[in-house]
A and B are shown apart, each in its own frame.
Chain A
């Protein structure tokens, strides 16, 4: 791959024009031109060719041609080749006639020179643009792959955070114990567990699900948590019925509740309560999960606080392009996790 950049441009630019000048010199020397003619014919094209293309390059760098369509770019190339040739020939012949004191210029000579230098300018353009075009394509390809990888990462990350293994094994252990105590309830809990697991498998790749679906699973999740915490966990769920058909990222409520349990309820001997409220306000609807506790609550087991929350933020950003919002606050001994989603 040919690298672009200032240094490489100057090298290519100098070598290119120098070799044109040298070959011009050689050919005309062999043809027996006078020294004065040789000098003029070599130095002038070199100097003006170099100058024109350099100025031209600084102009191309300013316009954002990389986002142009191919026909537009081709148009640019042909247009500027013609213009460059015209300017070049005008200056060149103007100067030559002035320097040599020639009154009349021969048209065939001008045309043949215009043809040769036209080709040189066209070649310059083609080389310049194709190198940049290729580079650009290459980078956008890399960018595309990076984006895909990042998306995958985000999905994998959220999948990982979706059903917490600690919760899974506690639930299984509790159900195992419950079998001896209340067979019917144990059977129900297994169904809840199975539904929750299936839901997470089914929807983890999806961007959003209907709130009513999410709520159904959240209820089952809360029931499973209740066999772990029993009367130490009280919860309530209030939702404006008009919002049931709205879409939310799957498992997002469940992740908020998991966080409320981890940093709230499970830290207190007497347990606590979780209040879930979903309501509309202006052009948004809000999902608030409130739990007993404090934002500064300790996490002594080295659990990385906020991995789950970071995940929620990223998913919201990805899905709603920054139009959704998530933040945590504390009021009256309650930690409030609030998500704002445009209706």
Chain B
């Protein structure tokens, strides 16, 4: 059975949700955290599959907490009332629970989750949380085709969206799986799965065309690496 983590600053509210979850008997272990800091420790220690996350937290709020994570588990947001947050959830069909939480509603939300994936194949489920103004998304890494550096930030290209995240390209390069994501030049990291065509360019450089149409120029040094990688 999977584990879960309840992040909630009010002790009584936490108790309430934990009791509900216990009754459902769907989780092996139910861990608790009062704030983002405790939640981070619990994530590292217990590696829960699901996090029930209150949006209002002292210190970092729920959104900021997720934004700070490189890979995040499946998340169900909880909130008492928050027009702003709910607007962004509804925009992207992200699931959330309104406090007081109804049992039926909780069951539905859990049913929608993918709890049967074993931890090994979880790599495919790896996702990041992206927030841009009033919108927010959970984006699977496999859906991201391109990261582009904009100062200390990075633009994340997926589907038709390209929001910004507060992470530098070098940082992203260090945490992303190198078998999937490749730094093609100083400005860009691409997802190798999205490559459509590789053409030789002048000066020994390569030009990559993505399946989505973008043309990306590879620096000379990285062109060399790509050639090795694809034994061109």
Contact = CB atoms under 8 A, between A and B. Distances in A.
Contacts of A302: 84, 134
Contact of A228 (B10, B82, B101): B10
B81 A174 contact: no
Contact of B58 (A165, A169, A230, A269): A269
Nearest to A231: B11
A178 B100 CA distance: 12
A228 B16 CA distance: 12
Interface stretch (B59-67, B118-126, B202-210): B59-67
A266 B98 contact: no
A184 interface: no
Interface in A158-172: 165-166, 168-170, 172
Main secondary structure of the interface of A (DSSP, over half): helix
A300 interface: yes
A2 interface: no
Contact of A176 (B56, B61, B81, B100): B100
Contacts of A180: 15, 19
A169 B34 contact: no
Interface residues of A, number: 26
Contacts of A229: 10
Given A301-B84, A303-B84, A173 B58 contact: no
A106 interface: no
Contacts of A301: 55-56, 61, 63, 82, 84-85
A56 to B, nearest CB: 61
Contacts of A54: none
A168 B84 CA distance: 17
A169 B100 contact: yes
A173 B35 contact: no
A268 interface: yes
B100 A300 contact: no
Contacts of B13: 170, 173-174, 177, 228
B16 A176 contact: yes
A269 B34 contact: yes
A173 B56 contact: no
Contacts of A170: 10, 13, 80, 99
Given A267-B59, A301-B56, A302-B134, A173 B80 contact: yes
B13 to A, nearest CB: 5
Nearest to A178: B12
A300 B59 contact: no
Interface string B1-38: 00000000111110110010000000000000011010
A335 to B, nearest CB: 16
Contact of B64 (A169, A181, A300): A300
Listed from nearest, the 8 A-B pairs whose CB atoms lie closest are A177-B16, A169-B80, A177-B12, A302-B84, A165-B81, A173-B99, A173-B100, A170-B80
Interface of B: 9-13, 15-16, 19, 34-35, 37, 55-56, 58-59, 61, 63-64, 80-82, 84-85, 98-101, 134
Given A174-B13, A269-B35, 12 more contacts: A165-B80, A166-B81, A166-B82, A168-B80, A168-B81, A170-B13, A176-B16, A177-B13, A177-B16, A228-B13, A269-B37, A269-B58
26 contacts: A165-B80, A166-B56, A166-B82, A168-B81, A169-B80, A172-B100, A173-B12, A173-B101, A174-B10, A174-B13, A176-B100, A177-B15, A177-B16, A177-B19, A180-B15, A181-B12, A228-B13, A229-B10, A230-B11, A268-B58, A269-B59, A300-B64, A301-B56, A301-B61, A301-B82, A302-B134
